[in-house]
Amino acid sequence: MEITPTGLVDACGGADNVRRALRHQDKVIIELIELERVNQDVLPISTIDHSLRQITLDQPVSQGALTALGRVIDHNLREQAAPFYSPSQKTDFHRPGWHISPPQGLLNDPNGFIYFQGHYHLFYQWYPFACEHKDKFWVHLISPDGVQWHTAPLGITPSDWYDSHGVFSGHAMVMNDALWLYYTGNTRIGPERLRQTTQCVARSSDGIHFEKLGPVIDAPPAGVTEHIRDPKVIHDGQHYRMLLGAQREDKIGRLAQYSSADGLTWHYDGLSGDSLGEHGYMWECPDLFQLSDQWLCILCPQGSPSPTPDHHVPHHNGYAKATLEADGITLDNWQVLDHGFDFYAPQTAQTPDNKRMLIAWMGLPDEVEQPSFSAGWLHQLTCPRELRWENGQIYQRPAAALESLRGPQQLLVINPECHSTTVDLGTKQFELNTTLPIPTSGHYTLYFHSRSGMMTPASSGKPSGCALTIDGDSRTLTLDRSASLATEGDTRRCIHLPEPLEDLPLQVLADTSSLEFFIAGGRWTMTSRYFSAIDATFLALTRDRHDTPLPKEMDWYALKNASVR
């Protein structure tokens, strides 16, 4: 006898007792809150796993019944997550004032960044119940300008048999006047946590309420492990292309490409990326777009060669020039996208005036030991950035809409006779603009620090905080956060400055616990979480010797809060 949706839920002990649904080798597995509530006289159960509180059914379940069960679980998850959709009331002086951060729990990759029906839509990975990487939801934000955001109802929950251990990352497309979300469904089977990966679709006509259509690619292709994820879909003028970050069975990262006429039925075209060599053991978060008629592919390789000796973590970011071919993509000229500590999984969107805007996760996989943990939240996103293709590379600049956060312009004139200059800005939220002369020898340092870390004539140490040093002897620009509050990850990053440069325009965007440096008009960027004392509102400029040139002046603006409501 076929199991009806209502009969299945009732036999499982009621809607509030169903926690998760899975399917493995045509067997349906249901995870429950309390095994004791299951009616074993009604359900055809083949096995019971008491440690996981899971039952495996000995009879096929129709797709309709599984879909209905997913809607029950979706309702439960939304109710459970609702209390965590508001910020915690714990004392918290690290919460950003104008960046996107999670109300509670853990945030990671931005997803589905797109302009649709007159507004920007942005989703991000979220685990609401703790500061850890577990079953991911998609939070949904909407904005008129990419700066002021309001929270929409939760986008997608890990409610169905194909995504019940996490709605993993993906992108959005507008097709047939509807908003389509492509994402990776993640499930783990049994105590061994066997990974199952599918590529899935959800669709919305109003941009608010999404209907899951289920998997459109139900298994990895031959020669690829279950580590295949983060679909990016474009239309190249002839057909749809899907790019996926992938891992070959010999543990080499590559791009998997599929093609489709309708966005639903996909044909596997093969792997791309051999032109970059053995460039890491896994590639994640691909993006593909055009700037000034040049196709570009952003990637996050894991385990690729480190660009500098100070880079010790395995997670990287960068981009390559892309040539689109009938059945694949050729990549060349790999370049680092951001040279700082905390930049991963960037996504771009085309703006209404045909510009390209980028937002990234200001964090890295596996790093959760941060001071905000005690306040019940982790991580934030970067500011929105406008991308341009200049001189054979991507330039990044803060989105123009961020200027709406500026207070009155203020000017700091540097006395060329002084060995050091210190000023209290009175805020951690500011924009700073100056030009750094590159000395022929010697060095000077720009410090962001607290009152207790101020340098005085009697002190022998350096200010505690974050330091940006420009060194003429080595022609390097070094960011050092080793004196900030403890956090996981590296503490030094370095950029080597080519010989022709004599001056270095610098723009700094600061928030309560982050610094974003835009260098030489956006030729380089350095992004960093920076946790500091509550009074870390001081700026200091010091040099190693009297004849080392300093910037002549700095203009700066206090930045107002942006709403994320």
**Could you tell me if 545 and 455 lie in one domain?**
yes
Residue 314: left (phi > 0), alpha (psi -120 to 50), or beta? alpha
Which residues 6+ apart lie within 8 Å of 456 measured at CB?
A: none
- Per-residue pLDDT, 391: 94
* Same domain for 420 and 385: no
Contact 209, 183 (CB under 8 A): no
In the block, tokens 């994640």 appear at: 284
CATH assignment of the domain containing 67: 3.30.1360.60
**CA separation (Å) from 377 to 11, 131, 260, 371, 489?**
38, 6, 40, 9, 18
Instruction: Please tell me the predicted confidence (pLDDT) of residue 326.
Output: 85
**CA–CA dist 379, 80 (Å, integer):** 22
My answer on whether 372 and 437 are in the same domain is: no
The reported pLDDT for the residue numbered 376 is 93
Biggest alpha carbon–alpha carbon distance for the chain: 91
CA 125, 389, 397, 548: dihedral to nearest 10 degrees?
130
Q: What span, in angstroms and rounded, lies between the C-alpha atoms of 3 and 9?
A: 10
Q: How many domains does the chain have?
A: 3
Alpha carbons 397 and 546: distance in angstroms, whole number: 33
- Backbone phi, psi, residue 65, to 5°: -70, -40
Tell me which of 368, 394, 420 is where a domain ends.
Answer: 394
Within this chain, do residues 210 and 338 fall inside the same structural domain, yes or no?
yes
User: Which CATH number does the domain housing residue 303 bear?
Assistant: 2.115.10.20
Q: Which of 282, 361, 272, 359 is CA-nearest to residue 314?
A: 282
Cα 317 from Cα 303, distance rounded (Å)? 11
* Domain membership flag for residue 234: yes
Q: Are residues 368 and 413 in the same domain?
A: no
- Reading the block at residue 144, the tokens are 């008129």
* Residue 306 DSSP label: P
Same-domain status, 477 and 336: no
The per-residue pLDDT for 450 is: 79
Query: Does 413 lie in the same domain as 386?
Result: no
How far apart are the C-alpha atoms of 258 and 283, rounded to whole Å?
16
Compute how many other C-beta atoms are within 10 angstroms of the C-beta atom of residue 211.
10
Per-residue pLDDT 10s for the chain (565 aa) are 678 889 999 999 999 999 999 999 989 999 999 999 999 988 999 999 999 999 999 989 999 999 999 999 999 999 999 999 887 777 788 999 999 999 999 999 999 999 999 999 999 999 999 999 999 999 999 999 999 999 999 999 999 999 999 999 999 999 999 999 999 999 999 999 999 999 999 999 999 999 999 999 999 999 999 999 999 999 999 999 999 999 999 999 999 999 999 999 999 999 999 999 999 999 999 999 999 999 999 999 999 999 889 999 999 999 999 999 988 899 999 999 999 999 999 999 999 999 999 999 999 998 999 999 999 999 999 999 999 999 999 999 999 999 999 999 999 999 988 888 999 999 999 999 999 999 999 999 999 987 765 544 434 455 568 999 999 999 999 999 999 987 889 999 999 999 989 999 999 999 999 999 999 999 999 999 999 999 999 999 999 998 999 999 999 999 999 988 6
Locus of tokens 């066997």: 194
Tell me how far apart the alpha carbons of residues 481 and 485 are, in angstroms, rounded to a whole number. 9
Neighbouring CB atoms inside 10 A of 266's CB total: 20
The helix/strand/coil state of 268 is strand
Paired tokens of 36: 């004791």
Is 348 part of any domain? yes
Give the other-Cβ count within 10 Å of 127's Cβ. 23
127 and 276 inside one domain:
yes
Paired tokens of 236: 């190249």
Q: Is residue 480 within 8 Å of 491, Cβ to Cβ? A: yes
**What φ, ψ does residue 254 adopt, rounded to 5°?**
-150, 175
Determine, yes or no, domain membership for 90: no
Pair of tokens at residue 85? 């959709």
Give the end of a domain, one of 63, 80, 97.
80
Asked whether residue 223 is domain-assigned, the answer is yes
- Distance between CA 260 and CA 272 in Å, rounded? 17
Same domain, 423 and 494: yes
Encoding tokens for residue 63? 């797709």
Residues 262 and 146 in one domain: yes
Active site residues: 109
Q: Using DSSP, how many helices (H) and how many strands (E) does the chain show? A: 2, 38
Which of 362, 394, 426 is a domain's end point?
394
Let me know whether 387 and 512 are in one domain.
no
Q: For residue 349, is it left (φ>0), alpha (ψ between -120 and 50) or beta?
A: beta
Q: Does some domain include residue 495? A: yes
Structural domain contains residue 281: yes
Identify whether 98 is part of a domain: no
* Residue 429: CATH number of its domain: 2.60.120.560
295 and 328 share a domain? Answer: yes
pLDDT of 456? 41
Chain position carrying tokens 């996926």: 244
pLDDT of residue 512: 96
- The Cα–Cα gap between 373 and 90 comes to 11
Show the domain range for 477.
Answer: 402-558
Domain membership of residue 88 (yes or no) is no
Token pair, residue 536, equals: 């870390």
